[in-house]
A and B are shown apart, each in its own frame.
Chain A
Amino acid sequence: MADARVVVPAGALVAGLPLVLALTDVHLTGAPAALVVSTATGALAVSALTVQPLLAARLRRLRLHRALGAVALALVLVHVGALFVVSPGDALFAMSPDGPTRARMALMATVALVLVVALGVLRRRLPFGPVTWRILHAYLATLVILLGFGHALITQGALDGAGTVVLVAFGAGALAGVALAELARHRTRA
């Protein structure tokens, strides 16, 4: 078990850095409360998705992994819901076939996130063997990271500049975490 003197500050840094960068961006000057909520939940979802694979790689952290998975999904749903409050017309346009690439990435990442959480919740009820389940879960998690972080990277107005560096670093860490989790599970033949 890792030392709490390392885990607590590292956790605070991962949770706080995207949030602080996103909330101090100029595009929130005079913005409605719903846009602040949407920006904050999006930034927190980045943090949650960054640590999820690392938690999965540590066998004793599975309960936390399951809880944070539900939190990540809730954050993403509030992030999208708040955008509907900000401007229903813009939100519907973004999700339509005429919407921009960044919105299409977000839509697909959200579908993958719903599926990866459903896979976790229904694990015992699905007819998959352990290895098949693990491959599906890791594949969907990789899609969530690539499409979700990709969406955040090409979206302007939050997490630009220093935020871009944070997103690339966190995204690379999350992808490395998926590989680590696979190796950990492979060794224990879970």
Chain B
Amino acid sequence: MTREDAPRHPWLLGLTLGLVTAVVVALLATSSESGTGSEDVGERGPVEATAPIETPAPATGDGRAAPVRNCAVTQSNPGGTNNYIPDAPALESLGSGFVITGLVRSAAGCRPLQGVRIQVWLATQTGGERDNRASVRTGSDGRYRIETARTIPQFGEPNIHVAYDDGRYREVFIRRVVDLDDDRAVVNLTLARDG
């Protein structure tokens, strides 16, 4: 390189490239691997998934009534409503090989909620998110369960959607990710009264 070829302001060029590199690294470091709030809820292995087990409120010991226990409300996360079509058909099976299950509770008192309609949609080997949807109601123990075909990646990663949108409680739309070789996903919901 001759003297005439050299950049006129080498420090300015170096500073610019250094700043751009820093911005790129910062944007990568602050990103969420699977999208905001989309933790991996997949499980595999022979043991059927279990939702949290109810623990009785501790007795106060002096005869007074135990304080009412409240549970944190499940919050919707970004992307939760992607490909949502209201009123998924009532089905208990969308194929076999993968199970979505969970416990639905009330925020006030942490009680299991019976007969609550939960909607589920996901991309599997039998269809995309808009074709592959179902709704189930929780049993007397507050649990729901739906079996589907095995998941496939949707936009680069297998993900599932679980929602409550029936008006009695505040609506919640969940997007969570799983791994391709997972056998099931556990999504528990704690619902709050609307208003």
Which residues of A are in contact with B by a Cβ distance under 8 Å? Answer: 26-27, 29-32, 83, 87, 89-91, 93-94, 96-105, 108, 129-132, 135-136, 139, 143, 147, 154-157, 186, 189
Contact = CB atoms under 8 A, between A and B. Distances in A.
A93 B24 contact: no
Q: Which of B31, B33, B180 has the most CB of A within 10 A?
A: B31
B157 A100 contact: yes
Nearest to B37: A98
B36 interface: yes
Interface residues of B, number: 38
Nearest to B36: A98
19 contacts: A27-B152, A30-B126, A90-B82, A91-B155, A97-B36, A98-B35, A98-B37, A99-B31, A100-B38, A101-B32, A131-B7, A135-B13, A154-B156, A155-B153, A155-B156, A156-B156, A156-B158, A157-B152, A157-B153
A113 to B, nearest CB: 14
Given A98-B36, A100-B156, A189 B5 contact: yes
B156 A98 contact: no
A100 B152 contact: no
Contact of A93 (B2, B82, B157): B82
Interface in B16-34: 17, 20, 24, 27-28, 31-34
Given A90-B83, A189-B1, A98 B78 contact: yes
A143 B16 CA distance: 14
Nearest to B180: A156
Contacts of A87: 82-83, 129, 155
**Chain B contact surface mostly:** loop
Interface of B: 1-2, 5-8, 13, 17, 20, 24, 27-28, 31-38, 78-79, 81-83, 125-129, 152-158, 180
A156 B13 contact: no
**Chain A contact surface mostly:** helix
A95 B36 CA distance: 12
A130 B6 CA distance: 8
Nearest to B77: A98
A186 B2 CA distance: 10
